[in-house]
Amino acid sequence: MERAAEACVNRNEEDEMEISGHSPCCWKLALVSLGTVCSGGFLLLFLYWLPELSVKWTCRAVPLRDARVVLLRTTDEFRTWARVRVRSLLAPGSQPLGAPQPSENKRPLCQASQLEELTEVRFFVHHHVRYLWSAESQSFRRLTALDAGLPCASLHTSHGAGLPRSTQDYRRLFYGANKIDVKVPSIPTLLIKEVLNPFYVFQVFSMVLWSLDDYYLYASAILFMSLVSIGCSLYTIRKQYVLLHDMVAAHNVIRVTVYRGPHETEEIFSTELVPGDVLLVPPGGLMLPCDAVLLNGTAIVNESMLTGESVPVTKTALPKPTQGANGLFQDPAYSPEEHKRHTLFCGTSIIQTRYYSGEVVRALVIRTGFSSSKGQLVCSILFPKPTDFRLYRDACRFLLCLVGVAGVGMLYSVVRSIQQGEQVGRIILESLDILTITVPPALPAAMTAGVVYAQRRLRGKQIFSISPQRINICGQLNLMCFDKTGTLTEDGLDFWGFVRVQNGSFLPVGQDICAPSLSGSPLVAAMAACHSLTTIGGRLSGDPLDLKVFEATGWVLEEPTQEETALHDQIQPTVVHPPGQTPPEIPEGASEDEELMELMKLYQIGILMQFPFSSSLQRMSVVTRTLGEKKLVAYMKGAPETVGSLCRRETVPDDFSAVLEKYTQQGLRVIALASRRLENKYTWHKIQHVSRDVIECGMEFLGLVMLQNKLKAETVPVLAELRRACIRPVMVTGDNLLTAVSVGRECGIIPAKGKVILTEALPPRDGQPATINWQYADELPAEVVEKASKEEIKLMLDEEELPPEPRGPNVADNSYHFAIGGKSFAVILDHFPDLLSKLLLCGTVYARMAPDQKTQLIEALQQMDYYVGMCGDGANDCGALKRAHAGISLSELEASVASPFTSKTPNISCVPDLIREGRAALVTSFCVFKFMALYSIIQYLSVLLLYSILSNLGDVQYLFIDTAIILSLAFTMSLNRAWPELAPQRPPTSLVSPQLLLSVLTQILLSLGFQVGAFLLVQRQPWNRPSKDKQCGPVANLTLDSNSTSSRNGTAGLDPAGGEGDDHPSVRSFENTTLFYVSCFQYVAVALAFAKGRPFRQPIQTNGLFLASLVTISSFLLLLLLWPIPVLDELLELDCIPYEWRLILLALTLSNLVLSLSLENFVCDCDPLWQRVCYAQRKFEYPNQATYPQLELDEMAPGYSCRLYAPPRAKYKRLAQELLFDPDWPPQPKTSTKAQLPPAESTA
């Protein structure tokens, strides 16, 4: 038999999958069908849960070219399987972006006479993505459109004329309808999927078993609760589908106009659009139904739906390829990410457009449906990446352990029942009943209660989530990344000052840019003209930095109206001019020359062309024309380093770096400006098609503009709180490196006495390897410089060999903090992989980071076993927000699809709130899990002891325990609110930590000891014998006492309940009554012991419902025990026991309660004790105090894990310990590190 052809799809991408081909096998299908019948359908259900087995057990492996079924498995850590059917379509061609055969243009595509001319195209669809079979590569490939690296020239030439109807119909065969069709499943469909969940299948199995055992009342109660749970789940799931459907339905079906040739247009439904269609964008805008690239004109777009950024964005036409500055023809490949300033994304709202006279703005459709940007976001919501959290893995393993415990109990029950001569049917029922007792069916619902309550509290704090399962993970965050501008600092910028350049030298700093003497300055003209501002509703709108710089000049911006534009053959430019200018009064009868001369006296600058700001290029530029001048002038604005490198060397002052460092060290936002008078060959028409590289070279440096970006009031206290909580803060920004370092010191990310190491990595050049230059920032206070010279900085370490002690926030901090730029980060990724982890361990400031570099940083930190959070404004941080364990977008939208969490509070105060609620939810999950585990074990012990005398708990007893006690306590236990302060330690992540295991085991041993002790004691009592008188009360107790000398029967279960013979074992017995009281009080004791308060949750006295449940249940049990009521005793099938025995039971239960609380609080949850035990053998492990950011924080945190001889599990902790003994780390100042050459190069 030929092996399955295994290959990969989406290789080296985030959604890479292994694929293997299969075809149905008749004999395997027959065997599976037979097994399904014999197993009553359970085998089919089992294969439904495990798709890999359903394929392997029903199909044979075949090459992919012959496959009718493909088996997919993700290559990430989750290794998720999926079974997909291969389908085929008939088309007059096999190229999706091609056209039908010429003969097909004249006749319908699928005429019966044409079938032999059609080509079969095989494909499959997975997560709304279509994969086509490629005969050339003999594999399936993702169906791509015009975003697959096509040259920009081809988008203008080959695809810019529109599609004929026949080609559009042909392409729709491959790409399908252009709609993001989020189908709302019907109630029956959702019900079937929900019921087939293993949890509900187990509940159905349990209810059938209980019904066979005559526990009808209990089974009915569980059925009712299951129906309520299913109903709530169906309502929630359907509501989410409806919300998502409504979110995408607004632009699913609208009417649009497309080109059918150079001049012919047609109005169609947006669902008919395919890649290659040319869309006409109306002047009033529209909600875009697809991804498209602008071919001409400009558009003002609101992208808040995608990014959460409410500032409108200006989109310009995709530039046509031209000759670059080096004379070579430049034709870059189109990419939606690199050319996003020219791309209109699906779901965004076009506010207005600028267009030629008699023409409209044209946009080329590049992606449709689920392939569009919004479609991909919807897919990420519909098919979220599984959450990798140790709690859930450990919970599954613990459940398997409970199943193993149940197996032991089942074996004991079978052996004991056979010895007692039980019937076979009875033996099977009793043994299976053990399984339903040991594995509590209500466990999943109880564990999610804490997350549900936390989500509700977060909503009250204006924090919304589209991924509630991540709330638990927030409780484990130990590193938090922050964007700077708009996150740590205010959105608005304040103009601080400017420095002009004259004759290659800086002039003194100025503050008043509106001075009359500067009205004609090129620097002022650049500030007024170099921006992307536009007028919307009579108000200036655009980037906050552009807006602040323009407003500082006091100039006026005027945009032409549509009527004015229609009077000319070209787009009328936006005009800026100084304030106070009024049109000159022209005398009547003046000639045209005189009128023109009067107008020439006005100082106005027209903006003819814009090259928008690019995060990767770190600059923007405009081409302008001043009224009365012939030559065009280009102005550029951007990062000082970038602008300076593009200027003529003689125009850049020699002290450029020193002046720039002077202002950036003050925390100022520094922008550089430059200009260039273009040659006569550059006309208005030519610049419309010229590359920006041709314009942005040979510039004249004009000077620097400084803006002050003030910290938000909440930034410093929040960061201080995070540091006290041992959560490491990191700054990730696109701003200047020294500015970021200065802001980092100001806000406390870098401690006052922390040493900053500037890291500059240079790529290989002229045969020399890549190099890292280390430079210590000259920012240390004088007293620290005296202790440690900048030339000889050594580790300042304590000599005392003591276990780590918590250090207060005021302890002197001499730690090292690396500051790395985006270009250096890229070089380190490529050439210094061995140093990357060391730099990440100590890296605190990352500046000039592009959006994709932010994502790479988050991934690298996660690979070091950090739990990483990211807080940003949602614009350039989308990738990082999605990649982080907890991404928080500061957006005005209620729920942004840019990140799992969205805060409507525009500052970082939401971060501690989220971490607090995450910790509370995580601890609640642990508490509930331990409580439910103890509940099952306690009941398991009671049933096994009763099975030994052929007895059991009664139907009403089960019902009372599971509903009145367990459910009420489990769900109210989760209501504790989060503790208002963040504690230094973090909650445990694993159920196998020593403290948690000890907690569970001690409670199990306590429960076992008291139950077995009470069981043996009651059997030794002289009054323990069968009794016909079932009345219980003071009189009955006296009667029972007077007959206590009678012969006793230690096995009360041998007499059927009520004195009537039947096939069922007796329920009412002294042993049953004793164990019922003891076990019920044990449930209350463990609930009280496990209901943790500080340091992660508020104490139980603040949880009114939980206290009320405890008091109510305890009072009822005490009433039953000390003042028996015959009606209740009869209902619960409790036997009459002497009053002295009741007092003994009370003493036993009180002793159990005291011991449970004592062991839990003074042994299992005693941090000083565990600190002493954990660190007693590690006294000499830390010869020095840590001088690295994460170790310095971890030392403050009392750990929950205790590993006396093993190294830490987390990679970053192991690395930090290794660096303490590395004499060459940290690097010495003013030194360099060279990358190792590959062996081939080094031996050459």
| Residues recognised as catalytic | 483
- In the sheet that holds 255-259, the strands lie side by side as 265-269, 255-259, 278-281, 361-367, 291-294, 343-344
CA separation for the pair 6, 139 (Å, rounded): 9
CA separation for the pair 916, 730 (Å, rounded): 19
- Secondary structure (3-state) at 431: helix
Q: Do the beta carbons of residue 1136 and residue 1021 sit within 8 Å?
A: no
Residue 729: name the closest of 572, 870, 852 by CA: 870
CA separation for the pair 461, 474 (Å, rounded): 16
CA separation for the pair 574, 432 (Å, rounded): 81
CA separation for the pair 923, 454 (Å, rounded): 12
- Going by the DSSP 8-state scheme, the letter that residue 1057 receives in this structure is G
Q: Which residues pair with 22 in a beta bridge?
A: 61, 69
β-pairing verdict for 868-872 and 479-482 = parallel
Q: Do the beta carbons of residue 9 and residue 75 sit within 8 Å?
A: no
CA separation for the pair 891, 898 (Å, rounded): 10
- In the sheet that holds 574-577, the strands lie side by side as 505-506, 494-502, 700-708, 668-677, 633-638, 619-626, 605-614, 574-577, 556-558
Q: Please provide residue 685's backbone torsions phi and psi, each rounded to the nearest 5 degrees.
A: -70, -35
Q: Give all strands (DSSP E) within 239-379, no chain letters.
A: 255-259, 265-269, 278-281, 291-294, 298-302, 313-316, 322-323, 329-330, 343-344, 349-354, 361-367
CA separation for the pair 1191, 1142 (Å, rounded): 56
Q: Is 658 exposed, middle or buried (0-12, 13-18, 19+ CB in 10 A)?
A: exposed
CA separation for the pair 1032, 1068 (Å, rounded): 13
CA separation for the pair 470, 1135 (Å, rounded): 49
| 1124 upstream amide cis, omega within 30 of 0 | no
Computed on alpha carbons and rounded to an integer, the radius of gyration of the chain in Å comes to: 37
CA separation for the pair 1083, 974 (Å, rounded): 16
Residue 578: name the closest of 531, 635, 515, 509 by CA: 515
CA separation for the pair 506, 989 (Å, rounded): 57
Interior/surface letters 495-507, b for 16+ CB within 10 angstroms, e for the rest: bbbbbbbeeeebe
First to last CA, the chain: 49
CA separation for the pair 1236, 768 (Å, rounded): 10
In sequence order, which residues have a C-beta less than 8 Å from that of residue 257 and are 6 or more positions away? 265, 266, 267, 268, 279, 280, 282
Q: Please provide residue 768's backbone torsions phi and psi, each rounded to the nearest 5 degrees.
A: -90, 140
Residue 1052: name the closest of 1079, 1071, 1029, 1073 by CA: 1071
Ramachandran region, residue 767 (left: φ > 0; alpha: ψ -120 to 50; beta: rest): left
- Going by the DSSP 8-state scheme, the letter that residue 1164 receives in this structure is I
Q: Do the beta carbons of residue 461 and residue 910 sit within 8 Å?
A: yes
Q: Which residues pair with 846 in a beta bridge?
A: 732, 820
